[in-house]
Amino acid sequence: FIPYCSSDVWSGASSKSERNEYAFMGALIIQEVIKELVGKGLSTAKVLLLAGSSAGGTGVLLNVDRVAEQLEEMGYQGIQVRGLADSGWFLDNKQYRRTDCIDTITCAPTEAIRRGIRYWNGIVPERCKLQFKEGEEWNCFFGYKIYPTLRCPVFVVQWLFDEAQLTVDNVHLTGQPVQEGQWLYIQNLGRELRNTLKDVTASFAPACLSHEIITRNHWTDIQVKGTSLPRALHCWDRSLHESNKNGKAPLKGCPIHLIDSCPWPHCNPSCPTIRDQFTGQEMNVIQFLMHMGFDVQKMAQQQGLEPSKLLGMLSSGN
């Protein structure tokens, strides 16, 4: 476990100087940790799994190929390097309400990275860098843009309605019922995110409103289409072993591409419990949707259903 003390999405390579009073050395920290681990048993490993959550998830995407190259250069070609990126697959989408870039919370994702990469002297993988013009390297911080350029296998875990994404998009779900514009924006965010994952071979994307999963104690309980994350990761591991042996098609009954298709936050009944941010009270799906200003009568009408039938479907997650 490497604590996140570099504040640079694990990409920085700038040391403290007279001009810069802070050091941002996330990319170099990872290199040094790998060097140290080689002497602690990594040299005899078959697989190295680089995993991270949130900024660490984006850090996995930015560093997984570089770690593989580093080990090859050190003479350890036999170690297969893989990535597990949790809650680090952000979108450079339009904010719900545009705000000026005053601090990290109000700054649009693209602008924050654009400024940050210069400040940190951020390093992005060469193969991704070549896809973009000079000065446009910030694109490589966004999962759907860097993923097609990666050589190492990566498993992407991402809530379809990520709270950190909603925060930077200026959708704040506190206290007040959500307005119709926000509600449509949230649903659209889920659709956009689902689209960016369609060509990702190994993915687990529940339709929940949350942030980070592998660091939480409920990480084994969440299911997508009846499959839990540990099961999906096990299937992924097996599929990589099998394809190394004989390049076979995916294993039957062992899915690794799992993306919820239901359209709103918490329409998956295995989602973690939501707490009201003011009262701390737990809410079930229906209470949560009501709290969000979800009009059951109107929605039922649109779907051509009885309201009670719609409520039954919501609580069972269909």
Instruction: Please indicate, yes or no, if residue 224 is contained in any of the structural domains.
Output: yes
Known catalytic residue: 162?
yes
Tell whether 280 is covered by a domain. no
Inter-residue long-range contacts of 278-282, CB under 8 Å, 24+ positions, other chains counted = 278/174, 278/175
Biggest CA-to-CA distance, the chain: 69
SS3 250: coil
Report the domain count for the chain.
Answer: 1
Element (H, E) at 156: strand 154-157
Is residue 310 included in any domain, yes or no?
A: no
Output the pLDDT for position 103. 79
The reported pTM is 0.90
Q: How remote is the C-alpha of 277 from its chain's centroid? A: 23
User: Token pair for residue 172?
Assistant: 């704040």
Q: What is the dihedral of CA 94, 97, 98, 104, to 10 degrees?
A: -90
Mean pLDDT across 68-87: 97
The answer to the question of residue 312 being in a domain is no
Query: What are the pLDDT digits (tens) for 188-206?
Result: 999 999 999 999 999 999 9
Indicate whether 317 belongs to any domain.
no
Phi, psi at 156, each rounded to 5°: -105, 120
For this structure, is 211 an active site residue?
yes
Catalytic one of 8, 65, 86, 162:
162
Q: Measuring CA to CA, which residue among 122, 123, 140, 118 is closest to residue 131?
A: 140
**Structural domain range at position 43:** 26-268
What is the spatial distance between Cα 209 and Cα 203, in angstroms, rounded to a whole number? 17
**Within a domain: residue 214?**
yes
Nearest to 238 by CA among 220, 256, 265, 222: 256
Query: Is 47 among the domain residues?
Result: yes
Whether residue 92 is contained in a domain is answered as yes
What is the per-residue pLDDT for 207? 96
Other C-beta atoms closer than 10 Å to the C-beta of 299 total: 16
> For 212-231, what is the mean pLDDT?
96
Any bridge partners for residue 47, and if so which? 80
Chain-centroid distance, C-alpha 294: 26
The active-site residue out of 53, 54, 203, 210 is 54
Residue 257 φ then ψ, to 5°:
-115, 95
Task: Choose the catalytic residue: 211, 239, 260, 266.
Answer: 211
Tell me which of 317 and 221 has the higher pLDDT: 221
Instruction: Characterize 32-46 residue by residue with b for buried, 16 or more Cβ atoms within 10 angstroms of its Cβ, and e for exposed.
Output: eebeeebeeebeebe
- pLDDT average, residue stretch 82-107: 89
What does the pLDDT look like over 30-64, one tens digit per residue?
999 999 999 999 999 999 999 999 999 999 999 99
- Residue 308 is predicted with a pLDDT of 73
pLDDT digits (tens, 9 = 90+) for 140-198: 999 999 999 999 999 999 999 999 999 889 887 766 667 778 888 999 999 999 999 99
Of the candidates 223, 255, 217, 224, which has an alpha carbon nearest to the alpha carbon of residue 239? 255
Other CB atoms within a 10 A radius of the CB of residue 123 amount to 21
